[in-house]
Chain A
Amino acid sequence: MEDLDLGRLADIPDPFAEGSEKAPRSLAKRPAAPSASRAHVRGIRVMAIAIAVLSEAAWLVLVEHRNDLGALSPSGVLLGVGVPFAAAAVALAAAARRGPLGLGEPASRLAALLGLSVTVFVVGSLFATPQEYDAGPFWPHTLRCMAVTAALAAAPLALGVWSFRHAFVTATTWRSTGLGVAAGALAAATMSLACSTDSVLHVIVGHGAMMLVGGAVGAALGRATRA
């Protein structure tokens, strides 16, 4: 390929120059249903985040929380919750960032940010979780935790897709993947207060795998978030 001097593009005449910008016909159907204004959309998103966090808290209060919660050091609890929360924040910020023109980040940067989110969780868990070997059977307990994490991620993901419906104009699949990763990470944060197994492998696989599954589900729901 010759050097990419895009000034040469001017060689090509515009076959649609004649009448390309003539006024199109009037709208066949006017927008019938009212759509949400900017303030309304912001309110919906704040409400969605609040409901998502409250639903996680409700699970801890009403369904289960770890028995040794009172015996844990405050810094240990903060770290256990903080690492997945940070991963969720990175993923959510990636999905919701406005970008230079208000169109969001390009797909390559979104992929990098979502990779960073997962890395934050894995590396943070390595440091935040005691490096002890879980003496019990690994898979039965881990599979149960994966199922619980999936249940915990469902509501935040549904709220995320709902509050961002018709919102993403570019890189839609990657941005809705970000919503799914954020929902999975939020569920992992809740699990750090619900599951008393501190094995690092259990935390990464049993609690963190839902970030990947959530991301895949988010990607599959991308059409709903596309403008």
Chain B
Amino acid sequence: MWVPIGESFPYLAATFPMAEPIRKAPLRAAVGDPPARSIGGPSGPLDAAMDRYARGDDAAFDELYRTGAPRLRGFLLRLCGDPALADDLTQDAFLRVHRARGSFESGAAALPWFFAIARNAFLDHKRREATRRSLAGDERSAGPGSQAEAAPDTRGDLALAASETLDVVRATLQEMTVLQREAFVLIRFEGLSVSDAAQVLGATEAAVKIRAFRAYEALRAALQRQNKGER
């Protein structure tokens, strides 16, 4: 049974007004923060820069990096939970963009293509890490949020509780499967529609929807546990 967030997590609702649920609202309006972030159409500056770059205009790379890298870094940070690694993966992703530019379809939106390439960079990193750990005989998993981005400066109980909530979300995101995490991140934090997220992940809409919802359930359960522990 779903309990409105103001009842389950009062400090959360007070601290994060944007976290108020929007029942039965269209997905784009409901999950975007800011609402309904566009993945970009052919007229967006990122799309225009990418189109120029795909046509062979090398000078467009700087504009592409300037406009696209912050969004890509945000996506990678939410996937990996480590700011330094997100920086490295952003660079790796842009080198891949450079290598693959000739395959960027005319009239396509650049951001989903960037997200898909960034995801490949992240998955390759995960595989390399798994191989390295298995070769080193180190079975320990990478601690979630071990190098997480510093939480905002906090003051007072409410802010402290909110900060702890963010820690729980951060840690739970890292504990869930990559499939669930990437679906959740794309829909909840990057504001993509289920259809667009499915395209980026190369999966069906039904599969992506289920993965995102399972991630949501895991996060909500973790927040409820934290809430009970505080009472």
Contacts and interface: CB of A to CB of B under 8 A. Distances in A.
B187 interface: yes
Contacts of B200: 101, 103, 170
B48 interface: no
A101 B196 contact: yes
A4 B213 contact: yes
Interface string B215-226: 011011001000
Interface string A8-51: 11111111111111111101110100111111111000000000
Contact of B102 (A38, A101, A226): A38
A5 B204 contact: no
A110 B33 CA distance: 33
A15 B22 CA distance: 19
B49 to A, nearest CB: 14
Contacts of A86: none
A126 interface: no
A141 interface: no
Interface of A is mostly: loop
Contacts of A17: 33
Interface of B: 1-2, 5, 12, 15-16, 18-25, 27, 30-31, 33, 39, 54-56, 58, 61, 65-66, 69-71, 73-74, 77-78, 81, 86-87, 90-91, 94-109, 112-113, 116-117, 120, 148-149, 151-152, 162, 165-167, 169-170, 173, 184, 187-189, 194-196, 198-204, 209-210, 212-214, 216-217, 219-220, 223
Interface of A: 1-2, 4-25, 27-29, 31, 34-42, 98-104, 106-108, 164, 166-172, 226-227
Given A14-B78, A98-B105, 13 more contacts: A6-B213, A7-B22, A7-B25, A13-B169, A16-B189, A23-B69, A23-B70, A36-B102, A39-B55, A106-B202, A108-B203, A166-B103, A170-B201
